[in-house]
Amino acid sequence: MRPQRHWLTTAAAWALACVLAASAGLLRAAAAASAITADELKSAGWNASEPRTPDGKIVACYITRHYTPPPEGRNVMTALMAGRGTGLSLLLADSSLKLAAGAPLEATFAIGGKPFTGFSARVRDTDEIGIYPDHGAALLAAIERDGLLDFRSSAVALVFPFDTDAVGWLRACAQRNGIAIEPDAQ
């Protein structure tokens, strides 16, 4: 009977060691991850995505959020993306827009009531505007300080909140996948 108990004790010790090792790995992974998970972003109204090439390499990290402000039937979407080779960009889409695709756009941009000047804007599609910061890190830092964004042009005026936790996820995703926030750092 004694050898059998020894076997059970050894098996239990081995199982406990495996559980502890796995737990330690999970804790290290959790500590290295961003402060918020993709599931937590989803519950806060955001969608997070990591599009991949056919060989599985992540080419971009992006977060989107959809709004339905008045008037009824109007849809607004904001997206923040860090792309391999392109750096950081912000996309604003508004179903009520009817713009000429590809046209440059004169605009002002403020974050938390403070002007953000280092950017260019252009019409991406008839209902989409792309904002391209000169320095992606500066844009992320400004959003993290105060997430109220105010974009104004002759075509549209959009004021919208941007969750600072979503920025944390984007930073972590880009870092984890070797995607630079600055376009010239790729």
Residue 24 and residue 48 in one domain? no
| Residue 11: per-residue pLDDT | 34
Q: What angle do CA 122, 77, 136 make, to 5 degrees?
A: 55
pLDDT at 22: 36
pLDDT at 44 over 90: no
Nearest residue to 77 (alpha-carbon basis) of 116, 40, 39, 130:
130
pLDDT for position 34: 41
CATH number of the domain that 58 lies in?
A: 2.60.40.1880
Q: How far apart are CA 17 and CA 74, in angstroms?
A: 56
Given a cut of 50, is residue 184 above it in pLDDT?
yes
Helix (H) or strand (E) holding 121: strand 119-125
Q: What is the mean pLDDT of residues 147-171?
A: 86
Q: Is the pLDDT of residue 133 over 60?
A: yes
Residue 123's alpha-carbon distances to 51, 77, 168, in angstroms, are 23, 15, 27
What average pLDDT is seen over the chain?
77
Show the tokens assigned to 66. 């959809």
Quote the domain boundaries for residue 19. 1-32
Residue 36: pLDDT band with limits 50, 70, 90:
low
Q: Are residues 159 and 80 in the same domain?
A: yes
pTM (global) more than 0.75: no
Cα–Cα distance, 22 to 20 (Å, whole number): 5
pLDDT tens for 96-113 read 888 888 888 899 999 999
Quote the number of domains for the chain: 2
Confidence of residue 43 (pLDDT cuts 50, 70, 90): low
Q: Which residues pair with 75 in a beta bridge?
A: none
H-only helix segments in the chain:
2-32, 38-43, 136-145, 164-176
- Asked if 10 and 78 sit in the same domain, the reply is no
Three-class SS state of 38: helix
Q: Is it true that the peptide bond before 71 is cis, omega within 30 degrees of 0?
A: yes
